[in-house]
A and B are shown apart, each in its own frame.
Chain A
Amino acid sequence: MVELKQLLRGKLVLYGLAFLLLLLVYAIAQNPRPLVQSLAGELSDVYYSFNSRQPPPELVFLEIENDSVRQFGRWPWQRKILAEGLQRLEQAKVIGLDMLFSEATRARHDLALIQTLAQLPVIGGLFLNGPMSSELDEAAWSALADSAILGVQHSGLIASQRIELPTPQIREALPLLAALNITADDDQLFRHYPVAFQVHDLVLPNLAVQMWRLAKQQNVQLSAEHATLGAQYLPVDAQARLRLNFYPTDSWQRITFAELMQDDWQPERVAGRIVLVGISEAGVTDIRATPLGQIPGPLIHLTMLGNLFDGSLLTPINGLQLFSLMCVSLLIGIWTWQLRLPVVRIAVWGLQAVTLCVLGLLAYKYFNLWLEVFYPIVLLFLWLVLGEAWLFRISTAETRYLRNAFSSYVAPTLVNKLVKQGEDLHLGGQRQQLTALFTDLRDFTPTTEALDTEVLVQHLNAYFGLMINRLHRYQGTLDKLIGDAVMALFNAPLADEDHAYHACLAAAAMMQALEEFNHRWPDDPIRQLRMGVGINTGEAIVGNIGAAGRFNYTAIGDAVNIAARLESATKEVQQQWQQLPAAQRPCQRVDILIGEATYKAVKDRLPCYPVEELVLKGKSQPLPAWVLDWQKMVQDSVL
């Protein structure tokens, strides 16, 4: 019982360890290391391939691609060409330039661009690299402040000490500036988009955010606690980054610069639209690696702008939501651990993992929620390994417990069966049909007197070894050894539908074994043993009977008592039997007596002969009994 309690405690320990693993994985998910983050990203990036959304129709990518480069020469072009093209976008609502004019070129070309920029709702770019920001003059800071998000207190923003601006003349012409920086994740894939950057005491928005501000005339509210853009909640991370919700790369409205410069260009094509001018020509190296593959850098800005326009910003399932999900998984896991077959358990774990992936996909596709399914799946795997290891440990302990409890009583094959069907072991008593077998040595006193104690014990041990072996061979359970007597049970503790028959076979085998045992000392009659066997079938109370911590598996009841009485009667019946004429004796010896119920169970299969009804001690009515002719059974090779 103590061991059983330890086993139960073992499962509680398993649940406790599983919860600790949950806390560990949850903590890692809250602040993942770069490698872990990359692995998580690799798994959840699959979601994007299920996204068939189209970008908002207001957005246009004006790209400088191969045809344009062939037509106007290698980038960078003369700024008057760019100025001419930008003039053709005059009907656009907002124009974003994903390019930086940090150096002066020919004065008349620069002037053409300056004059154009000053007339358009255009946002120019700046890069957060190059010269130190401390080198900027007050005019530059003032211009930056005009484009900045003022009044932001957010210590987590990505900060830069360096900044590269357009030339002062172009900077003054540009209505607004915006950062063009995008930061890659640790695996060098671009999945996140910083809303803004900290440069000294200014917070400079990124290009997509600035384009939204200009288009919608809405400001950004940004703090460590929350972020909003107009009325739109921004699910930013600690660095004020948003997860990009990519569109299929071929779904964008694209206009090439070459098209723009054609004589038949229709300015209405961009009327009221948001146009981002950028370079997709491969030679310019503004190509970024994303979960969808290599795409032009400007499309990352447009993707974020599209997310802002169609409200498809991805909200991570994190914090309490992720913790709750993990807890639900743990509850399912605890249920899974109750399943008996390992293969079923593993299948359930797998099913749960698949379900999580499907849930993550559905959450993404229909609710713009982002579940990093990596963490719960890793948790499932850890639970699987932990659980199987722990259950193996418990199973081993259970096996050891059962073997310890029964191996000395029950045949090894039965022990194996008990171990496999542990629930069939009922501790405590129950009423059931069984067959009880009793043996006792006849005329054993001379032997005990003749042999030294040590020799006698060895002799008895050899005898008991043979008897118990034969019992086990026929699924008998040794109940106890009482002096030189043996008490055995059939149909307990494990069910045996043919227990009466098996008890008879065991008794005959025991007699045969005893005969072989006696042949070891053909000339030493003192060592030769004689044995009587009584077998009776009936109802008895069987189970672990005794005090707590010390149980004794046994059977009690009238059926058992009668078996013992039958064994006692064998000697007397043998004597009576010998007095009969040989012709009237169906068999020569009466070594085994069986009761009525046993007889009825085996009469058609085994040689049994009635004897006179026996008046047994403690019984008011005489009972019928039969001799089991074990020698004929040996001859007929029944054993």
Chain B
Amino acid sequence: MLALFFILFSMLSVARAQPCGAIATLQRIEGIVKVQPAQAAFPLRDVQVPHGLCAGDKVFTLTNGKALIIYDAGELVLDNSSKVTIIQAQQLNLDEGSAVFEVQRQAKGQELQAHTPLIVIGVKGTRFLLTSQDKNTQVALIRGLIEVQRQDKQEMAYYQTKPNTDVLELSEQERLEFEQFVKNRGQEFAQFAEQRRAEFSAFVQAIALQEGLQLSLGERDAKYIALEAPISDELEQQHNELAQWLN
């Protein structure tokens, strides 16, 4: 599982101070949403919003859940079946699931950085959707500009979608491989299909993701791959649903 976590370099203020020193606020919930305080064995019962979140707190959304977390730098809408850990004032972990981040423009030198075990995203006031599931991570940039690079500064195989996406000729072997992917690894289907339509660009340390594009990050054949493509309908729809919760 790729844990996706964010380091906020700016000091965040919270809406409602808590005894533990709340650094974010659970502002709105829908469905079943649980908050498990740091070091606690069990989640809190009957959480009422707004609820101050302290360092180490975890926010879980179940299948039908959704949550809005606000902080000074912006807002985060957590989709269902997701988990966020409030590590500290500058760092949130998206351990699992999906979330839309709305980050306000930061002062120079105080930009937000998004980290995963493999990548770092530099954020300069923007909105993006992150999904982290199993071994796949996707970043869809709705607005603004972000830069993505690996944590270890190693190069990624950077693929970009071909201008003419209508042409897709597969050899027999590729067709079988394609079908096998669809059959066994449905979650990677879209990524694979996009990769078939994409062409290798270069091995790069950092990728500047443009607005309207998504970057699918995964590993195939022991190589780390970053696949750039227009935001898919699926991610677009997911963003639209979550974005309704943004203030």
Which candidate, B36-44, B195-203, B221-229, is the interface stretch facing chain A? B36-44
Is the CB of B63 closer than 8 A to any CB of chain A? yes
Taking a contact as CB atoms closer than 8 A, the residue among A150, A214, A218 that contacts B43 in the complex is A150
Residue of B nearest to A220 (CB): B41
Q: Does A153 contact B (CB under 8 A)?
A: yes
Pick from A145, A176, A216, A219: contact of B62, CB below 8 A: A145
B71 at the interface (CB under 8 A from A): no
- When distances are taken between beta carbons in the complex, the residues of chain A under 8 Å from B39 are 217
For B96, give its contact among A146, A151, A202, A219 (CB under 8 Å).
A151
* Bound complex: CA A105 to CA B60 (Å): 36
Q: Which of B31, B34, B39, B83 has the most CB of A within 10 A?
A: B34
Whether the Cβ atoms of B42 and A141 lie closer than 8 Å is no
Given contacts A214-B41, A219-B40, contact A146 B62 (CB under 8 A): no
Q: How far is the CB of B11 from chain A (nearest CB, A)?
A: 28
Tell me whether A146 and B34 are in contact in the complex, defined as CB-CB below 8 angstroms, given that A201-B62, A201-B63 are known contacts. yes
Q: Which residues of A contact B1 (CB under 8 A)?
A: 153
B residues in contact with A148, CB < 8 Å: 43
Q: Which residues of A contact B34 (CB under 8 A)?
A: 145-146, 150
A147 CB within 8 Å of chain B:
yes
> Which of A138, A176, A214 is in CB contact (< 8 Å) with B32?
A138
Contact between A145 and B41, CB atoms less than 8 A apart = no
Closest Cβ neighbor of A176 among chain B residues: B42
User: Closest CB of chain B to A122's CB: distance in Å?
Assistant: 14
In the assembled complex, how far is the CB of residue B237 from the closest CB belonging to chain A, in whole angstroms? 21
Q: Does B95 sit at the interface, judged by CB under 8 A?
A: yes
Size of A's binding interface in residues, CB under 8 A: 20
Complex alpha-carbon distance, A145 and B42, angstroms: 9
A151 close to B42 (CB less than 8 A): no
Instruction: Specify which of B32, B64, B95 is in contact with A151 (CB 8 Å cutoff).
Output: B95
Contacts of B108 in A (CB 8 A): none
- B60 contacts A151, CB within 8 Å? yes
The yes or no answer to B127 lying at the interface (CB within 8 A) is no
* A213 interfacial by beta-carbon distance below 8 Å: yes
B94-147 contacts to A (CB < 8 Å): 95-96
Residue of A nearest to B31 (CB): A138
* B58 touches A (CB below 8 Å): yes
**Are B43's CB and A201's CB within 8 A?**
no
Which residues of chain A have C-beta atoms less than 8 A from B43's C-beta?
A: 145-146, 148, 150
Determine if B81 is an interface residue (Cβ-Cβ < 8 Å).
yes
Q: A146-B34, A219-B40 are in contact. Are A151 and B58 (CB under 8 A)?
A: yes
| A 199-230 contacts with B by CB, 8 A | 200-202, 213-214, 216-219
Whether the pair A219, B41 counts as a contact (CB closer than 8 A) is yes
Q: Which residues of B contact A214 (CB under 8 A)?
A: 41-42
Query: How many residues of B are counted as interface, with CB atoms below 8 angstroms from the partner's CB atoms?
Result: 20
Asked if A151 meets B31 with Cβ closer than 8 Å, knowing A213-B41, A213-B42, A219-B40, the reply is no
How far apart are B77's CB and chain A's nearest CB, in angstroms? Answer: 19
The CA-CA distance from A200 to B81 in the complex, in Å, is 11
Quick check: is A142 within 8 A (CB to CB) of the other chain?
A: yes
B45 at the interface (CB under 8 A from A): yes
Is the Cβ of B62 less than 8 Å from the Cβ of A218?
no
The answer to whether B32 and A145 have CB atoms under 8 Å apart is yes
Considering the chains assembled together, what is the distance between the CA atoms of A62 and B19 in angstroms? 40
Closest to B36 in A: A150
Shortest beta-carbon distance from A220 to chain B in Å: 8
Residues of B within 8 A of A151 (CB): 58, 60, 83, 95-96
**Once bound together, how far apart are the Cα atoms of A217 and B40, in whole Å?**
6
Chain B positions within 8 Å of A145 at CB level = 32, 34, 43, 60, 62
In the bound complex, CA of A145 to CA of B36 (Å)? 11
Report how far A150 CA is from B97 CA in the complex, Å.
13
Set of chain B residues within 8 Å of A201, measured between Cβ atoms: 62-63, 81
> Chain B residue with minimal CB distance to A218?
B41
Known: A147-B42, A151-B58, A201-B81. Contact between A142 and B96, CB under 8 A? no
Which 7 pairs show the lowest CB-CB distances between chains A and B? A213-B41, A219-B41, A150-B60, A201-B63, A151-B83, A217-B41, A146-B45
* 19 A-B residue pairings within 8 Å (CB atoms): A141-B32, A142-B32, A145-B43, A146-B42, A146-B43, A148-B43, A150-B34, A150-B60, A150-B83, A151-B60, A151-B83, A151-B95, A151-B96, A153-B96, A214-B42, A217-B39, A217-B41, A218-B41, A219-B41
Beyond A150-B58, A219-B40, 16 extra complex contacts between A and B, CB < 8 Å: A138-B31, A141-B62, A145-B62, A146-B42, A148-B43, A150-B34, A150-B36, A151-B60, A151-B95, A151-B96, A153-B1, A176-B42, A201-B62, A201-B81, A214-B42, A219-B42
